Amino acid sequence: MRELVLVLGDQLSFASPALADFEPEQDRVLMIEASGEATAVWSHKARIAMFLSAMRHFANGVAARSWPFDYVQLDDPGPSEMAGRLRAALKRHRPKTLRVVEPGEWRILQIIEDACKKEGISLKLLDDTHFMCSRHEFVQWAKAKKELRLEFFYRLMRRQYQVLMDGAEPVGGQWNFDAENRSAYPKRTGPGDIPPPAWFEPDPVTREVLALVEKHFPDHPGSLDQFGWPVNREQALHALAVFIKHRLAQFGTYQDAMWTDTPVGWHSLLSAALNLHLLDPREVITAAETAYREGRVSLESAEGFIRQILGWREFIRGMYWLDMPGLKEANHFAHQRTLPDWFWTGQTQMACMRDSLKQTLALGYAHHIQRLMVIGNFATLAELSPQQVADWFLAIYVDAIEWVELPNTAGMALHACGNRFTSKPYVASGAYISRQSNYCAGCRYDPAQRTGDSACPYTTLYWHFIAKHEKTLAGNPRTALMAKNLHRLSSEERAGIAQRAAGMLKHLDAL
Ligand SMILES: Cc1cc2nc3c(=O)[nH]c(=O)nc-3n(C[C@H](O)[C@H](O)[C@H](O)COP(=O)(O)OP(=O)(O)OC[C@H]3O[C@@H](n4cnc5c(N)ncnc54)[C@H](O)[C@@H]3O)c2cc1C
Ligand code: SF4
C-alpha cells in the first residue's frame, strides 16, 4: 500500500487535501471511532453523537465512491483508545506512508506522530486548507506584532480576501460595527417571534448512533431527546441557507442578548458544522456578504457575523497552535477552586446560570454571551481552576474541539494567559447580566445588592475581584475606571463584600 489516508472525525470534507491525490489502486482511507475520545473528557451525549453520526454519514460517501476503506467502529474488538486503534491499523495495512491533515488537537498530533514512530511508518502531515490563515502565516503575522489583538488580524484577513471591501477601504467606511451589536431584547416585549433554525429529524444512521451512545455512555451528561444537528453536508448547507434567509438580518443587533427559554436567539448554530468541516468558512462568508450586497441584510449584521468567522475563528485557531502546549497549563491568577457539582446538573439558584446550564445539558449548545459572560465570567470571579473549567467546556458543547475551545476558555473567558489575547479580563457584575437579559427578574438574588443574603454572587464576587486585583487594574487604562469605582464604596461596605465573598467562595456548591 502506498498511502493510508487517515480522515479524522473533524475533517469530514471531500475537498480535504488528504484526499486530493487519492489513488484507489494503491491507497486506502482509514477512519477510526474510539470510545476513549468520548471519555478523554466526560463528553455530553450530543457531542459524542454529533461526531459519530457525521463520521458515519461521511463514511457512506466514501463507500459510494467504492474506494478501499477501513472504518473502525466504536464497538469493534481491540483497544478502545485512539492510540491503540491507530497502531493496530498501521500494523494491519503496513502502508509506506500515513497521510493526514494536521489535527485540531495537540494531543491527537502527539498520538499520530508517536504511532508512526513506533510502527516505523513515514508520516505526511498536510496543512489544513479548511482554514483561511495557515499556521505558518499566523506565526509570521504574530512575530511582527507587539500585541496580538483580533482587530489587526481581522483587518488583514478582510484585505487579503477582499471581504466587505471597496478597494482598499472597508465597505461603509468602518471596519467594525461592534458597538451596534450589543442590544438587549426589549424589556417589555421580550424577543418576540424569532424564525427557528433548521433542525433535522434523525435519519436511520443518526438513530443508530443515538442508540449506540445511550448504550455505551449511559451515565454521561446531557440529553439526546432534542438532537437535530446537521450531520452531513446537505443538511449543513440547508442550515446555512435558512440562517442567511431568515435569521442573519437580526443577528447583529441581538448578538449579545439573552432571555429565559430563548436558547438560540438569532444565532447561526453553524459552529459544529463548520468545525467538522461540513461547511467551508469561505462559503459561509460569501453567503453573508452576498445577502448584504443584495440588500437583504444590513451591513451591521453581515459584518458582525463575518467578523466571528473570518476574524475570531481564524485568530483563535492561530493562537491555539502558537501557544500550545503551554496554553493548557495557563493560570495567570493561580485560581485553584473545584468546579461546583451543579455545572453538571444546572441545579443552582442563580437564574442566569441555571438557564444557560439547563439548555446546555438539553442541547449541547449555549450562545457566545452565555458562554463568555454568564458561565466564563462566573468561573473567573469564583476563582475556578482554568484546567477544570476548560475540561468542562470541552466536554459539554457539540462544537467543542480543543483548538477552538481552549483559547476561548483560557485565553478569553478566564484571562488565564494574562493580557496575551485581550487587553482586560472579561469580568462583569450582575448589572451587566441584568442589562442584557431578563434573567434577574426571576432570580432569588438581586443584581444591585453587593452584601446581605440576597446579594447577587456575580456582583459580590465582581467587587471582591476588583478589590483583590486593584493595583493591576488601576495600572491598565482599559480597567482603571473599574479600580477607581472601588473608592466610591465605604470601608464598611468593602468589609461586608469581603465577608460575603469569602462565604460564597467557601460554599460555591450552595449558590
Ligand atoms: C468559554 C468559551 C468556550 C467556547 N468554546 C467553543 C467551542 O468549543 N467551539 C466553538 O466552535 N466555539 C466556541 N466558543 C465560541 C462561540 O461561543 C461559539 O462558536 C458560538 O457560540 C457557536 O454558536 P453559533 O454557531 O450559533 O455562533 P454564532 O454566534 O452564530 O457565530 C457564527 C460563527 O462564528 C464563529 N465564532 C463565533 N465566535 C467565535 C469565537 N469566539 N471563537 C471561534 N469561533 C467563533 C463560530 O464558528 C460560529 O458558528 C467558545 C466561547 C467561549 C466564550
Ligand atoms: S441576580 Fe445575579 S445570579 Fe441572579 S440572574 Fe441576575 S445576575 Fe444572575
Residues 6+ apart with CB under 8 A from 278: 12, 13, 54, 230, 231, 232, 233, 235, 236
Give distance in angstroms: CA of 409 to centre of ligand 2.
Answer: 21
Least distant ligand from the CA of 44:
1
In short, whether 461's Cβ falls inside 6 Å of ligand 2 is no
R_g of the chain computed on alpha carbons: 23
Collapsing DSSP to helix, strand or coil, 9 comes out as coil
Q: Which residue has the higher pLDDT, 202 or 421?
A: 202
Distance CA 374, CA 435 (A): 13
In short, whether 108's Cβ falls inside 6 Å of ligand 2 is no
Q: Which three cell numbers stand for residue 1?
A: 500500500
In short, whether 288's Cβ falls inside 6 Å of ligand 1 is no
Check whether 179 has a pLDDT greater than 80: no
Identify the residue whose C-alpha is closest to ligand 2 atom 7: 430
Mean pLDDT value across residues 67-95: 96
DSSP 253-266: TTTT---TT-SSTT
Q: Which three cell numbers stand for residue 135?
A: 499556521
Report the percentage of the chain scoring pLDDT > 70.
100
Give distance in angstroms: CA of 185 to centre of ligand 2.
Answer: 17
pLDDT level of residue 177 (50, 70, 90 thresholds): confident
Q: Work out which ligand 2 atom sits closest to the CA atom of 429.
A: 7
In short, whether 412's Cβ falls inside 6 Å of ligand 1 is yes
pLDDT level of residue 225 (50, 70, 90 thresholds): very high
Find where cell 446537521 sits: 230
Least distant ligand from the CA of 273:
1
Check whether 144 has a pLDDT greater than 90: no
In short, whether 268's Cβ falls inside 6 Å of ligand 1 is yes
Q: Work out which ligand 2 atom sits closest to the CA atom of 459.
A: 2
Give distance in angstroms: CA of 431 to centre of ligand 2.
Answer: 8
Distance CA 430, CA 442 (A): 13
Give distance in angstroms: CA of 374 to centre of ligand 2.
Answer: 9
Q: Work out which ligand 1 atom sits closest to the CA atom of 281.
A: 47
In short, whether 447's Cβ falls inside 6 Å of ligand 2 is yes
In short, whether 375's Cβ falls inside 6 Å of ligand 2 is no
Give distance in angstroms: CA of 270 to centre of ligand 1.
Answer: 9
pLDDT of the residue at 182: 80
Give the 3-state DSSP-derived string for 91-144, with helices as H, strands as E and coil as C: HHHCCCEEEEECCCCHHHHHHHHHHHHHHCCEEEEECCCCCCCCHHHHHHHHHC
Q: What is the pLDDT of residues 310-362, one digit of tens each?
A: 999 999 999 999 999 999 999 999 999 999 999 999 999 999 999 999 999 99
pTM: 0.97
Report the percentage of the chain scoring pLDDT > 90.
94
Q: What is the pLDDT of residues 419-473, one digit of tens each?
A: 898 889 999 999 999 999 999 998 999 999 999 999 999 999 999 999 999 999 9
Q: What is the pLDDT of residues 273-304, one digit of tens each?
A: 999 999 999 999 999 999 999 999 999 999 99
- How many CB atoms neighbour CB 65 within 10 A? 12
Distance CA 352, CA 133 (A): 36
SS3 content of the chain, % helix, strand, coil (to 5): 55, 5, 40
Residues 6+ apart with CB under 8 A from 279: 233, 236, 237, 240, 270, 273
In short, whether 412's Cβ falls inside 6 Å of ligand 2 is no
In short, whether 271's Cβ falls inside 6 Å of ligand 1 is yes
In short, whether 359's Cβ falls inside 6 Å of ligand 1 is no
The mean of the pLDDT values for the chain is: 96
In short, whether 101's Cβ falls inside 6 Å of ligand 2 is no
Q: Which of 215-224, 234-243, 484-493 has the lowest mean pLDDT?
A: 484-493
pLDDT of the residue at 423: 87
In short, whether 378's Cβ falls inside 6 Å of ligand 2 is no
Q: Which residue has the higher pLDDT, 417 or 182?
A: 417
Q: What is the pLDDT of residues 482-491, one digit of tens each?
A: 999 999 999 9
Identify the residue whose C-alpha is closest to ligand 1 atom 41: 312
Q: What is the pLDDT of residues 118-137, one digit of tens each?
A: 999 999 999 999 999 999 99
pLDDT level of residue 413 (50, 70, 90 thresholds): very high
In short, whether 445's Cβ falls inside 6 Å of ligand 2 is yes
